[in-house]
């Protein structure tokens, strides 16, 4: 029943060019991976995807959904500039500007 439908759907989408990607051990690429966690280990070289939380999907070069991954980096390794921004966390979130914030004690003008 359900298995046959799932297999037929997978065969159809694959025939249309939909590709599932994201495997443990893949080199981290911020253009196709979304890093959810980051850790260091002496057991890896470079920056790799150590766990796949959710696989990614693409059609040709177009990414439909980035793979959501855990990233492991070699201890003492140098992070390439292309990856550094993807691994950093902004405490205020994207687009936040602290100069526009009003303290709770201030009254609006």
pLDDT digits (tens, 9 = 90+) for 15-67: 999 999 999 999 999 999 999 999 999 999 999 999 999 999 999 999 999 99
Distance CA 76, CA 95 (A): 31
How does DSSP classify residue 28? P
Query: Which pLDDT score, from 0 to 100, does residue 76 have?
Result: 75
Mean of the per-residue pLDDT values of the chain: 82
Give the residue-averaged pLDDT of 69-85. 76
Return the pLDDT at 106.
Answer: 54
User: Which ranges of the chain does DSSP label H, i.e. alpha helix?
Assistant: 2-15, 81-87
| Mean pLDDT along residues 3-19 | 93
The pTM of this model reads 0.65
């Amino acid at each position: 029943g359900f298995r046959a439908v799932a297999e037929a759907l997978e065969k159809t989408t694959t025939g249309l060019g939909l590709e599932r990607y994201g495997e443990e051990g893949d080199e981290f690429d911020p253009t196709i991976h979304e890093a959810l966690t980051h850790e260091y280990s002496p057991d890896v070289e470079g920056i790799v995807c150590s766990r796949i939380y959710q696989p990614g999907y693409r059609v040709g070069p177009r990414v439909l959904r980035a793979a959501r991954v855990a990233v492991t980096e070699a201890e003492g390794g140098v992070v390439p500039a292309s990856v550094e921004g993807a691994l950093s966390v902004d405490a205020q979130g994207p687009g936040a500007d602290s100069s526009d914030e009003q303290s709770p004690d201030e009254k609006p003008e």
